[in-house]
Structure 1
Amino acid sequence: MKAARFDASRAECLVFTRKGGLLAGVGHDLKLRVERFEVVIDPDRLRGRFDSASLRVICASVGGQDAPGALSERDRREIEATIIREVLDARRHPWIEFLADLPVLAGPDDARLEGLLAILGRERRQTISVRREGDRAVVEASIHQPDFGIRPYTAMLGALRVRPGVGVRLTAPWPE
């Protein structure tokens, strides 16, 4: 694989949270965007760095569909501030990093990479899947927050909460 570099100007990194708990019906699933990141692919290694203070709420989703008007601007700002301050502690841990050796290929248009993911100073093994969709690479991972010492966000005495599993999807030009 040729060397390549991607950032938010050529790629998009989205994070998906899902609600749970007894009052899940009053909560929202969320779609967030990482505004600042860099992915570097060398012939034998992939390295990703994601600015933990750059997550922005794109919208809520209801029944798997984007619901752009479901959150007020104030709600969006409060959610972003909570993620940055309380969930990811971005002042103490400004970067989320992933490092994997290449390649662990499954075929010409898909791959599975195993590497180390570091969040909040904790490193854990993480598997990501990569597939080709036209001229784009779609990279997906499921991150279990408690593995990194993150207690999923709760409200209303735990009756409303974010589920422990968070989805991540990065799309970028397919590296030739």
Structure 2
Amino acid sequence: MTGSGYTFTASDDCRLLLHTGVTGKASKMGHRLTIAVTRWRAEVDWSGDRPIGVDLSAEVDSIDVVHGEGGVTPLLGPEKTLARSNALKTFEAERFPHIGFRTDTVDETAGGFRLIGTLEIHGVSHDHTVDLTVADLGESWGLSAEAVVRQSDFGIKPYSQLMGAMKVVDEVTVEFAAERPKRA
């Protein structure tokens, strides 16, 4: 992309999270996970006072299980490590190490911007739309978005165990949040 813009990466004021659910007859045994993506980069290209393009790339092997709700037992270190390992296998991280989103169009909305583009996961690309909310925080802008991604749309079979009695829900919620100082 050309022009000036912002670069966002994982930091205390920029985060990219995945939220999973659990289903099946034994779902009470499983945890609803919050997974942080710790290595990602989003380049936002600007023209005048508005964004005109976004190019995001995330490294699949940078996922870190940070929280788990539910389950029979608390989600502790060893269980987090196992959940991460299972997710990496599900995503085939060695074969498909990157996830990307690139906009074709950025439209202004009442509360921010609609990002229309292509999402690539697991070597499969699909059209995808993300609604980005922009909030005036005084000295800075607060940016946030949530989007639902269906794993099976990208050739991923959601993780399951106990012969399918407990499995990860096909829809994963992706959450983005950032804060940036206002431009001069």
TM-score normalised over the length of structure 2 = 0.85
Q: Deviation per CA, 1:17-71, whole angstroms, max 9, x where unpaired?
A: 00001111111100010010000001221000001001100110249xxxxx821
Confirm or deny: 8 A CA contact 2:58 2:98 kept in the other structure.
yes
- What percentage of aligned pairs have identical amino acids? 26
Offset, 1:78? 0.8
Mapped pair 1:80 → 2:70: no
Q: Partner amino acid for 1:151? A: K
| Structure 2 Cα separation of the partners of residues 113 and 96 of structure 1 | 16
Partner of residue 128, structure 1: 130
My pick for the range that moved more, 128-137 or 112-121, is 128-137
Mapped pair 1:61 → 2:34: no
Instruction: Give the structure with higher Rg (CA).
Output: 2
Partner of residue 38, structure 1: 41
| Structure 2 Cα separation of the partners of residues 2 and 140 of structure 1 | 26
Query: What value does the CA root-mean-square deviation take over the aligned residues?
Result: 1.9
Confirm or deny: 8 A CA contact 1:59 1:70 kept in the other structure.
no
Partner of residue 115, structure 2: 113
Confirm or deny: 8 A CA contact 1:16 1:168 kept in the other structure.
yes
Structure 2 residue runs without a partner (length 5+): 47-51
- Aligned pair partner of 2:170 in 129, 153, 164: 164
1:138-149 alignment, distance < 5 Å? 138-149=144-155
Q: Partner amino acid for 1:29? A: R
Q: Partner amino acid for 1:83? A: A
Structure 1 residue runs without a partner (length 5+): 64-68
- SS at 1:53's partner residue? helix
| Structure 2 Cα separation of the partners of residues 21 and 46 of structure 1 | 37
Partner of residue 96, structure 1: 99
Partner of residue 66, structure 1: none
Mapped pair 1:11 → 2:14: yes
Q: Partner amino acid for 1:139? A: A
| Structure 1 Cα separation of the partners of residues 121 and 28 of structure 2 | 30
| Structure 2 Cα separation of the partners of residues 83 and 92 of structure 1 | 13
Offset, 1:2? 5.8
TM-score normalised over the length of structure 1 = 0.89
Partner of residue 57, structure 2: 49
| Structure 1 Cα separation of the partners of residues 125 and 26 of structure 2 | 33
